[in-house]
A and B are shown apart, each in its own frame.
Chain A
Amino acid sequence: MDKPLRIEILAYAPTAFYHCAHCEVLWRETGFGEAAHREQLRSGLPEDLARDYQAVSDWVREVFSRYKEAVVLQVIDAASIEGFLKTARYGIRSFPAVIVDGRECFRGPDFGAADQAIARRLVAPASA
């Protein structure tokens, strides 16, 4: 099988804060962690950006269901070190942005151009 196509999506993502991995296990067991994370994710973004993120999420699901193992998708929070570096590297000025195969960068909430670029780089399965 060919190497999967890497698709990176830069967007403002909801943030939740976690404890160390092993303590999270205990927190989850008590029902302690879930409520805390849920509350943080709920207030993680203003309404308009939350809608944008939902659109990103729907598109990601759609791309994955269409291409399955042929793609690897990553959502990167723009307000993070990783997001900052990617933003600087690709000269991104607005979010969401989609980077296909590290070569093509598409900005804005319309994923049509990114869809075309992905299709161009992949042979779509017969069922698609």
Chain B
Amino acid sequence: MNTLYVVVISALTIYVAYNFYAKRIDRNVIQSDAKKATPAKMYMDGVDFMPTNRNVLYGYHFKSIAAAGPIVGVITAANLWGWLPAILWLVLGVSFIGWASDYSAIMMSVRNEGNSLSAISHKLIAPRTRTILFVFIFFYLLLIAGAFVGILAAILSARPDVPFGILMLAVMGLLAGQMLYRWKMDLIVVTAIVVVVTLASMILGPYGRHTDADGKLIQGPVGQMIVSVNTVFNNLTGGKPIEALSTVDPTVADPRIPAPNAEGVRPTTATYDAETGSIKTLPSYLFWALFLFVFSYLGANLPIWRFAQPVNYIGFWVTLLTIGLSAVGAVLAPLTGALDSTGAAIGTFALPAVKTLGFGIEAGRAWQPLWPMLFVTIACGAISGWHALFGSIGTARQLEYETDGLPVGGGAMFTENTLALLSLVAVSIAGVGGGGGRFAAGVGKLLSAVFGTAFEPFGTALGFGAFVVIVLTVTQLVFRVMRVTLTEWVGEAVPVVRNANVATIFSMVLTLALVLTGTWVYLWQMFGAANQLMAALSLLVVTVWLKSQKRNPAYALWPTLFMYITTLAATGVTARNLYVTIATKPELGALPVAGAWAMIIVSILLIVAALLIGWDGYNAYQRYSKGKMAAAGAAAAR
């Protein structure tokens, strides 16, 4: 398999799914009508309701790119099961489930005058659902924050070529906010300055790095500066890890665990004991976690125009350029026969198509069966994802014509899918490395197919930079939403939480507690399960709505059932893995054991919440089915 085949096969599949399935549903089930007035036209106020051209709206809908989902999930899945199951789920998932979910959500809102569906949902599903959903969503945010901070802190502490670029992103973000919104400087000039400086800072990370005569890696000026910072903090404990924070990861997905060497053996490093499997927490890891909290604190508490918006604006340019040029590299590499720095062909997949299906179960070991785990490991890209689209208004209130719903909602989902596919290409050609490292290595190779072999280390640094930017821009927003939510919901009972600083710090302390347990991979799978459960519940609302409108709900019903059952099963498997690999092994330390038990409890809560909501949804569906039959009977009697 090579990169060009993936591009061609995926493009064809998506073309067929969009034109022959999605359009058919749009035409026959939803029956979108260009002549029907949309809420944007009916209630146009120039602020909230605003008819917007579908091309612009599509851009909004995918403006901030997706978060870590299409990258981290794909990397983890490709490592566990191989690239073939990952690509099949990505392409089939988006074709039959992903687009339907996003498109339907928009159309349902459009058909309800762009208003909150509260009244409808209240009718469709029992009132208690709302309370359950609130608790569920708060856990979901906590899981995202925990997983993302864990991943990023590991990368920043392990890669001296990455942090400088991220530090400069923060500086440029603050500067851009001041220059654009306060000094009202020229947009083109400001964009050129902040984007070029941020990109250059990311690319400069490995500048001057070389190997000396003894084979020792010598950092360049930027890398050496970061190494010095790490050393200062690590010297606080005499260079030793903090024993109380040691943890384990039976799935070896923690970025602090080194990739296997040529013999397939993971070496012992400063952060990993190969013999015991213990992952060590150095003070420098805590320092970079703290750095991430400070970054996120700015994004969560400063006015949006001061930090969050400019950082996202710069981040979008960085991501767009990195991903766009990597896509060019993916097409060029097989055509030009480009070779990487080791002389291997760049366009050829190094990862096996299928590593294992994982159905065999071993006592006391983590179990990763393809079903259901693949479908929660890869969430975004196939279905769902934090698009973090930004604009002044919500999509459903902006649609100029009903017929724009499919290209905007469905089209954006297909676009996110291409990001996931590109991530898959990048990790599959890299062959070795773990987590974000494999993605970055793949991006480095793809960029070297465009700019030449000498660019590979700089391309890899840019790959890391783009990855961190994608994840971090979302992380800061997660904290912002968490603090607003805490203030809104707990503020009355606990007045101190009304203070924005207190609410943010409280959210961060909770997150830190999750990160320090070190089992981020479980957090990730829990996040995947929670995310997919949210998708299933949303599809459930769509299904009941379609039923209430006397339309055929099949295109939403079957995905609902698949996602619902799969997610419940995956949550159960994750809880089981936590139980047998960590919770029942006190010798691993108090922290991992406590963390595992906390996650098991969260799993159980998620399952109970999902069952209650499912039951309410089933009853609502039945009500509308019987209502329809009763109405038909009454009509026949007349």
Contact = CB atoms under 8 A, between A and B. Distances in A.
Contacts of B407: none
Nearest to B400: A72
Nearest first, the 5 A-B pairs at minimum CB distance are A60-B46, A43-B303, A22-B538, A57-B46, A22-B105
Contact of B484 (A35, A44, A82): A35
B394 A18 contact: yes
27 contacts: A15-B305, A15-B309, A15-B392, A16-B390, A17-B64, A17-B308, A18-B390, A19-B387, A20-B413, A21-B101, A22-B105, A22-B538, A23-B384, A23-B535, A23-B538, A24-B394, A25-B538, A29-B129, A30-B130, A40-B308, A43-B305, A57-B46, A73-B51, A74-B52, A79-B310, A81-B63, A81-B320
Contacts of B535: 22-23
A114 B389 CA distance: 30
A66 B392 CA distance: 24
B290 interface: no
Contacts of B480: 36, 39-40
Residue among A37, A40, A73 with most chain B CB within 10 A: A40
Nearest to A80: B63
Nearest to B50: A75
A24 B105 CA distance: 8
Nearest to A63: B46
Interface in B47-63: 47, 50-53, 56, 59-61, 63
A125 interface: no
Given A28-B118, A77-B391, A83 B105 contact: no
Contact of A19 (B117, B184, B388): B388
Task: Give the interface SS of chain B, mostly helix, strand, loop or mixed.
Answer: helix
Interface string A1-42: 000001000001111111111111111111110111101110
B133 A30 contact: yes
Contact of A73 (B50, B134, B137, B488): B50
A19 B416 CA distance: 13
Nearest to B385: A20
B248 to A, nearest CB: 32
Interface of B: 44-47, 50-53, 56, 59-61, 63-64, 101-106, 108-109, 116-118, 121, 129-130, 133-134, 137, 180-182, 184, 186-188, 191, 303-305, 308-310, 312-313, 316-317, 320, 384-395, 400, 409, 412-413, 477, 480-481, 484-485, 488, 534-535, 537-539, 541-542
Given A20-B386, A30-B130, A82 B56 contact: yes
A98 interface: no
Interface residues of A, number: 60
A79 B388 contact: no
Contacts of A23: 384, 386, 534-535, 538
Contact of B539 (A22, A32, A76): A22
Contacts of B534: 22-23, 26
A105 interface: no
B133 A26 contact: yes
Given A12-B181, A26-B538, A32-B134, A40 B304 contact: yes
A121 interface: no
Contacts of B390: 15-18
Contact of A41 (B61, B108, B385, B392): B392
Nearest to B125: A29
Contacts of A64: 44, 46
Nearest to B108: A25
Given A16-B391, A40-B304, 9 more contacts: A16-B392, A21-B387, A26-B541, A29-B129, A37-B394, A44-B304, A73-B46, A74-B51, A84-B191
B387 A83 contact: no
A29 B535 CA distance: 14
A94 B186 CA distance: 7
A29 B121 contact: yes
A57 to B, nearest CB: 4
Nearest to B184: A94
Contacts of B481: 36
A73 B121 CA distance: 32
A87 B189 CA distance: 11
Contacts of A39: 480, 484
A113 B500 CA distance: 44
Nearest to B410: A21
A17 B394 CA distance: 9
A15 to B, nearest CB: 5
Contacts of A36: 480-481, 484-485
A25 B541 contact: yes
A27 B137 contact: yes
Contact of B109 (A12, A25, A37, A76): A25
B389 to A, nearest CB: 5
A60 B40 CA distance: 13
Contact of B537 (A26, A31, A46, A76): A26
Contacts of B317: 81
A16 B305 CA distance: 10
Residue among B56, B310, B312, B481 with most chain A CB within 10 A: B481
Nearest to A28: B116
A56 interface: yes
B105 A21 contact: yes
Contacts of B391: 13, 15-16, 77, 80
Contact of A32 (B46, B56, B387, B485): B485
B187 A78 contact: yes
Contacts of B542: 22
Nearest to B45: A61
A78 B181 CA distance: 11
Contacts of B308: 15, 17, 40
Contacts of A26: 133, 137, 534, 537-538, 541
A61 B101 CA distance: 33
Contacts of B485: 32, 35-36
Given A26-B538, A73-B51, A20 B102 contact: yes
A57 B412 CA distance: 27
A117 interface: no
B112 to A, nearest CB: 10
Contacts of A70: none
A81 B182 CA distance: 20
Nearest to A49: B181
Contact of A81 (B59, B61, B103): B59
Contact of A18 (B312, B388, B484, B541): B388
A43 B542 CA distance: 33
A41 B188 CA distance: 24
B174 to A, nearest CB: 14
Contacts of A120: none
